[in-house]
Amino acid sequence: MVSPASEKSVRQMYKETRLAQKRLDTLLRFLPDPVFAFTLNNTVEYVNPAFERVFGWKLTEIRGKNIPFVPDHLLEQARQGMKQLYENRTVMDFETQRYTRDGRLLDILINGAILYDEDDTPMGQVLILRDITFEKRMAKTNRIMFDISNALHTYHKLGDLVTIITAEIQKLVNVEGAFILLADRKTDELYFFSARFKDAASGNKFKKLRFPADQGVSGHVFKTGKPLLIPDISQCDFYLRRVDEETDLVAQNMLSVPIKLKDRVIGVVSVVNKLQGQFDDTDTDQLMMVASTVALPIENTRIHEELEQSYTDLKILNQAKDKVINHLAHELKTPVSVVDAAMKLLEKKLAAKGIRDKKIETIIGRARRNLRRILNIQFEVEDLLKKKQFTAFHILTRLIDACVDELALLTEIQAQDETRTGNADMMTGVRQAVEKIFGPHRLTRQTIHLDQYMARHLERLAPDFAFRRLTLETGLEKTHLVHMPEEILDIIVTGLVRNAVEYTPDGGKIQIQVFSKNNRPTLVIQDYGIGFTPEKLRLIFENYFTPPDSSEYTTKQPFEFNAGGRGFDLLRIKLFSERYNFTLDIDATRCRFIPADTDTCPGDIRRCRFCTTPDDCLNSGATTVTLIF
């Protein structure tokens, strides 16, 4: 029989045990860190609410089961950790990673101990799993943001700066590929400015890609200005598949965020293929932080480089202007000298035949005056280049001298018009004639089907070089429309075709193609002629071309081989490209048989001592001019 004192003692112990259990339950329920208790065979015995909240598994569904949350690459580490736990009976601050139920990979810090029964026999383990994912990411973010901040002040070239930023983003988010795409405001396209993927060769494939700014995941982010996470690319119907097709990328998941300034989006940061786990909101926040930090420095660096490039172009064009004017002044000497000699010869012939005619003398006199005007251009150009100042007297005198013959001609025309009488009618007629003949003409943009236009224009030009023994191959595909004045396109195409013909020897070949490149109309004119030396190609828009021997002006006709100089065709096209927003690219290889500018080509493959077959010439030199509208 139990004594009242013993019964009271048992009740007190039971009460205290219940209270301790209640306190333990309360502690475990409100403990912010996950607690995980399991048996010796690794089956779950208990998890607290924090475990359910962090990892996603409920106690009711995992009790008595194993939890598959150890990553495959950490299985050996987990075995070593358990070994350490049994050897030391406890484990402190053991850092590792575990999966959540929805596939996220968390960084955790484990503290644990072995559970023993009354006989000091191990009966299980209890672990506290502290989630340190956010802390580690923030530490990593702070470190990488510090490196990026240093880079902003260290690298002054946009290419170097963006390359560093892309590499840091790849490390920050732990992805296979990281890309920075910038917007081309002229064409409304996105292009890969920097690509960090596998190796340099793989990354360079991305830099060749451009696509409309409203296409693909990046285009969607660019237009909406909002981040976008795609957990499964195969389920995304607007993902741009051609990116995978034209590169080594096999995209599985993707995260893109906008690079935003205060008033606009200037680009997109995109990352693909998370190496561990899935993209989550923390990745989005980190990427948004980087994008907002680098947006203004990227734009400032780009503007700075554009200003530097504009200044460089301006200096080159200014130098080219002086050289072109000087070139023009000297080129005028030869044709004027030829015409002047012809006029003198004509006068002698007329005098020898005893022909004396007042009207003929007037015509010859007028021609001689205009020749003197042309000769004076050289001196006027020199005055301009030397920046001389002219008084009003000299300016007016030159204006009157320049207009004498035009006014005389117009007056004669008006005087012969019997319907006009009086000085007022005369001056009105002169003014109208001046406006009609010498007045400026406005050019209007037209909508042009480039393939149809080229077919018509080549047909018009063909008779002009029909005397040349050349093979002309064309491939004219239908493209998007070109918008520019047709008169300007006439000048461009005529100049390029003439240059191709004049620098290709008889027996040679010229290829002309029209096709679409990145949805932009493209014209390519390739001749298999003498080509350019590297130095001349480098100076093509700066120093222009050395004028040919003056005898060319008297002995050669347009479209003959090596007829005259290339003139100012390419310089004019360069200026037109800036005015009408198309790009001009020239690639050339000098004929290997005549590598120097002083070497000459006979103008006919059959007369070339280096060529035994036409293919020898076709494989020796070439010039390719590409216009992208």
CA dist., res. 184 & res. 268, Å (int): 12
Nearest partner of 260 among 223, 213, 230, judged by Cα: 223
Q: What is the pTM of this model?
A: 0.46
Judged by average pLDDT, the poorest of 5-9, 67-71, 440-444, 623-627 is 5-9
Percent of the chain with pLDDT over 90: 19
Q: Which of 290-294, 322-326, 448-452, 563-567 has the highest mean pLDDT?
A: 448-452
pLDDT at 504: 92
CA dist., res. 531 & res. 419, Å (int): 59
**Residue that the structure tokens 């008006």 belong to:** 414
- Report the 10 Å Cβ neighbour count for 296: 15
Which residues is 106 bridged to in the sheet? 98
Q: Work out the average pLDDT over 99-111.
A: 88
The mean pLDDT value of the chain amounts to: 79
Q: Do strands 265-274 and 254-260 pair parallel, antiparallel, or not at all (unpaired)?
A: antiparallel
pLDDT at 554 over 50: no
pLDDT at 32: 82
Which residues is 38 bridged to in the sheet? 44, 125
pLDDT at 106 over 50: yes
Higher pLDDT, 112 or 28: 112
Judged by average pLDDT, the poorest of 160-164, 275-279, 424-428, 601-605 is 424-428
pLDDT at 522 over 90: yes
- Band of pLDDT at residue 401, cut at 50, 70 and 90: low
- Report the 10 Å Cβ neighbour count for 212: 14
SS (H, E, C) 192-214: EEEEEECCHHHHHHHCCCEEECC
- Band of pLDDT at residue 454, cut at 50, 70 and 90: very high
pLDDT in tens, 216-250: 999 999 999 999 999 999 899 889 888 888 888 88
Judged by average pLDDT, the poorest of 10-19, 220-229, 238-247, 456-465 is 10-19
- Band of pLDDT at residue 510, cut at 50, 70 and 90: very high
pLDDT at 552 over 50: no
Q: Work out the average pLDDT over 106-127.
A: 84
Measured CA to CA in angstroms, residue 63 lies from 8, 47, 48, 99, 371 at distances of 37, 9, 12, 18, 108
Judged by average pLDDT, the poorest of 127-131, 158-162, 292-296 is 158-162
pLDDT at 553: 42
Residue type (1 letter), 243: V
Two structure tokens written together for 213? 């700014």
- Report the 10 Å Cβ neighbour count for 144: 20
Two structure tokens written together for 621? 């030199």
- Band of pLDDT at residue 575, cut at 50, 70 and 90: confident
Percent of the chain with pLDDT over 70: 77
Higher pLDDT, 265 or 120: 265
pLDDT at 187 over 60: yes
- Report the 10 Å Cβ neighbour count for 420: 13
pLDDT at 392: 44
Domains 155-310 and 441-628 agree in fold: no
pLDDT at 525 over 70: yes
- Spatial neighbors of 501 by CB under 8 A, at least 6 apart, are 465, 468, 470, 510, 527, 559
Judged by average pLDDT, the poorest of 7-11, 12-16, 281-285, 566-570 is 566-570
pLDDT at 616 over 70: yes
Higher pLDDT, 210 or 380: 210
Please state which of the four CATH numbers 2.30.40.10, 3.40.50.20, 3.30.565.10, 1.10.3720.10 is assigned to the domain occupying 441-628. 3.30.565.10
pLDDT at 411: 61
Q: Work out the average pLDDT over 289-315.
A: 81
Higher pLDDT, 158 or 474: 474
**CATH fold label, 31-133:** Beta-Lactamase (3.30.450)
pLDDT at 140 over 60: yes
pLDDT at 24 over 60: no
Measured CA to CA in angstroms, residue 478 lies from 417, 451, 455, 485 at distances of 51, 6, 12, 19
CATH of domain 155-310: 3.30.450.40
pLDDT at 544: 45
pLDDT at 126: 86
Q: Which of 68-77, 122-131, 446-455 has the highest mean pLDDT?
A: 446-455
Q: Are 182 and 195 in contact (CB under 8 A)?
A: no
Two structure tokens written together for 221? 């982010």
pLDDT at 300 over 90: no
Judged by average pLDDT, the poorest of 45-49, 69-73, 385-389, 420-424 is 385-389
pLDDT at 385 over 70: no
pLDDT at 400: 55
Please state the domain extents for the chain: 31-133, 155-310, 387-410+424-440, 441-628
Two structure tokens written together for 424? 């007022």
CA dist., res. 255 & res. 78, Å (int): 31
pLDDT at 288 over 70: yes
CA dist., res. 97 & res. 70, Å (int): 7
pLDDT in tens, 478-501: 999 999 898 889 988 988 998 899
